[in-house]
């Protein structure tokens, strides 16, 4: 969404710039496109239409990373929600998760196995899960997230829904929260319940991919540390 951003120079003179949201939350937003250099801790005014909210810059993207040019802002007016109507509108919009198609003539060739599975890599993760069968959303189940990929997850949960049950679920990992729909594909008792994702809330897909990249980097760092140990 296009934004007007007002910030103040060292002489306290207001300067205007245009930017665009990358993603939004109840507490703030990630924005891109600012031409001026904004420092962490600065107060800026964010305007969209007739709404104006004062925010604090809480982080700026590393120029050598994928987040270069991005700025994270947090609302400092707790009684003035930033994106009330936008979040309510987005909450009900889900987009399908397209699973990668594997080439039949390559699927059995070990040279291409990693390439074919690159979007299916699962990572161990600590998180919580809330789910309910789509046929009875009043039934709320709580579970522990054991591993996660872009197309599914493994959950430790009591009284898991039967195989084939279509479900709605919310995944909570650190400060991330993802809303999805899916289907129970495996019930393996203590090993966990396997869920295949069908749809994800609009805007959550990019954040899920970002989280998985972070988990992959952490896994690689951990493997190097193990190798370096005497």
Least confident of 11-15, 34-38, 52-56, 114-118: 114-118
The pLDDT of residue 113 = 44
Flag whether pLDDT at 78 surpasses 90: no
Taking alpha carbons only, the member of 85, 88, 184 closest to residue 134 is 184
The pLDDT of residue 167 = 95
Taking the C-alpha atoms of residue 139 and residue 162, their distance in angstroms, rounded to an integer, is 14
Q: Which run of H or E residues covers position 181?
A: strand 176-187
Residue 101 binned pLDDT confidence (cut-offs 50, 70, 90) = low
Backbone angles phi and psi of 109, in degrees to 5: -90, 115
Mean per-residue pLDDT of the chain: 82
The pLDDT of residue 168 = 94
Give me the mean pLDDT over the 106-126 stretch.
Answer: 60
Domains defined for the chain, CATH in brackets: 2-87 (2.30.110), 122-228 (2.40.10.220)
Find the angle CA(202)-CA(165)-CA(104) to the nearest 5 degrees: 75
pTM of the model: 0.60
Taking the C-alpha atoms of residue 26 and residue 52, their distance in angstroms, rounded to an integer, is 15
The pLDDT of residue 225 = 61
Distances (CA, A) of 124 to 50, 96, 147, 154, 216: 44, 24, 4, 9, 10
Q: Between 189 and 52, where is the model more confident?
A: 52
Give me the mean pLDDT over the 173-197 stretch.
Answer: 91
Taking alpha carbons only, the member of 139, 218, 205 closest to residue 171 is 205
Residue with tokens 């074919």, as numbered in its chain: 116
């Amino acid at each position: 969404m296009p934004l007007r951003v007002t910030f103040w120079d060292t002489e306290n003179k207001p300067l205007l710039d245009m930017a665009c949201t990358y993603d939004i939350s109840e507490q703030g937003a990630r924005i891109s496109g600012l031409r001026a250099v904004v420092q962490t801790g600065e107060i800026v005014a964010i305007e969209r239409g007739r709404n104006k909210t004062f925010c604090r810059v809480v982080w700026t993207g590393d120029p050598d990373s994928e987040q270069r040019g991005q700025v994270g802002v947090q609302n400092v007016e707790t009684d003035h929600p930033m994106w009330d109507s936008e979040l309510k509108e987005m909450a009900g919009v889900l987009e399908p998760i397209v699973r990668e198609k594997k080439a039949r003539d390559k699927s059995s060739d070990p040279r291409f196995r990693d390439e074919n599975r690159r979007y299916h890599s699962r990572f161990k993760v600590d998180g919580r899960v809330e789910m309910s069968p789509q046929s009875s959303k009043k039934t709320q189940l709580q579970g522990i997230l054991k591993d996660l990929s872009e197309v599914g997850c493994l959950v430790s949960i009591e009284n898991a829904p039967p195989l084939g049950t279509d479900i709605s679920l919310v995944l909570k990992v650190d400060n991330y929260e993802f809303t999805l729909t899916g289907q129970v594909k495996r019930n393996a008792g203590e090993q966990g319940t396997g869920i295949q994702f069908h749809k994800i809330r609009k805007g959550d897909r990019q954040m899920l991919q970002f989280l998985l990249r972070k988990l992959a980097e952490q896994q690689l760092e951990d493997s190097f540390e193990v190798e370096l140990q005497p």
